[in-house]
Chain A
């Protein structure tokens, strides 16, 4: 989950998010290098008494500062495309979970075997227990088995919403009349928080998502209990 004074991404809980983290590190390093080089050159330019007013030919430097940025862009594009295609890999999920966005809560349906469905409302600030997170906790969490490929199908019953869990690198729009698919694979147990990511009315900021990733046996017990 997000924490105070956070600077970077949340810790990755899925393989894709790990890749995205590393890609971001790589790209940000390039950006820092270019920015510091430019700042340094500007500072040099502004602090010299030397002048040169008769520049006629700059062919060589122009070539360098065309080719080099092109190479840098390719070095950014290749990992980016690699991750893009990795996100689209065909995998065989073991479980399908549907989530429907409403104003202003999420509902979840697990219908592979029996019909398990429930609503997930935010816990109001007044009713939080000590240690719980403000505007992030819900009454019914989405319990899922860990280390299992899960097909998430996301839609909406009224207006546009978006189902996002940053720790797993997930964000998929919930569009009425459309069923959007995303793949979820959590590598470790824990609680993972997200918030609605498409403006949907007055309580848009108050419909969070909480995933509870647990071992398969716990998930089976929970689903029997919830039925």
Chain B
């Protein structure tokens, strides 16, 4: 029938966030939020040191895959407005 191996993406390219053992259960809210925070913290610190933010792309891809768009939009607006509750 259909060859499953053939259907998988070529190795090395992004497919979807892998299993994160820090968040093994049904509630993935924190997984999304933590990666969102980690991305912004990474970008802030890399910019402060004048380094490239390319390593931060992993966190971006994870929260972009996991977090609902409305949440990301709301948090981004809060960050821009200075009302974001998390520590970045």
Q: Real complex partners, A and B?
A: yes
User: Shortest distance in angstroms between B14's beta carbon and chain A's nearest beta carbon?
Assistant: 7
**A179: which of B9, B24, B66 is its contact (CB, 8 Å)?**
B66
Q: B9, B14, B15, B16 — which one has the most chain A CB atoms within 10 A of its CB?
A: B16
State A111–B14 Cα separation when bound (angstroms): 12
Q: Does A147 contact B (CB under 8 A)?
A: yes
Q: Is the CB of A109 within 8 A of B29?
A: no
User: Shortest distance in angstroms between A164's beta carbon and chain B's nearest beta carbon?
Assistant: 15
**A180: which of B9, B17, B26 is its contact (CB, 8 Å)?**
B26
Interface string of B2-17 (1 = CB under 8 A from A): 1010011100001111
**A112: which of B14, B29, B70 is its contact (CB, 8 Å)?**
B14
Q: Is the CB of A112 within 8 A of B15?
A: yes
Q: Is the CB of A92 within 8 A of B14?
A: no
Q: Is the CB of A216 within 8 A of B7?
A: yes
In the complex, chain B residues whose CB is within 8 Å of the CB of A146:
2
Chain B contact residues: over half helix, strand or loop, or mixed?
loop
Counting chain A residues whose Cβ lies within 8 A of the other chain, the interface size class is 20 to 34
State A117–B24 Cα separation when bound (angstroms): 26
Q: Is the CB of B19 within 8 A of A94?
A: no
Q: Does A103 contact B (CB under 8 A)?
A: no
Q: Is the CB of B16 within 8 A of A96?
A: yes
**A95: which of B2, B4, B15 is its contact (CB, 8 Å)?**
B15
User: Shortest distance in angstroms between A103's beta carbon and chain B's nearest beta carbon?
Assistant: 15
Interface string of A92-112 (1 = CB under 8 A from B): 111110101000000001011
**Closest chain A residue to B13, Cβ basis:** A113
Q: Is the CB of A117 within 8 A of B69?
A: yes
Interface string of B57-85 (1 = CB under 8 A from A): 00000001111111000000000000000
Q: Is the CB of A153 within 8 A of B2?
A: no
Q: Is the CB of B70 within 8 A of A100?
A: yes
Q: B19, B26, B31, B32 — which one has the most chain A CB atoms within 10 A of its CB?
A: B26
A residues with a Cβ closer than 8 A to B are: 90-96, 98, 100, 109, 111-113, 115, 117, 145-148, 151, 153, 155, 157, 172, 177-182, 215-216
Q: Top 10 closest A-B pairs, CB basis?
A: A179-B29, A179-B28, A216-B7, A96-B16, A181-B28, A96-B65, A112-B65, A112-B16, A178-B29, A94-B15
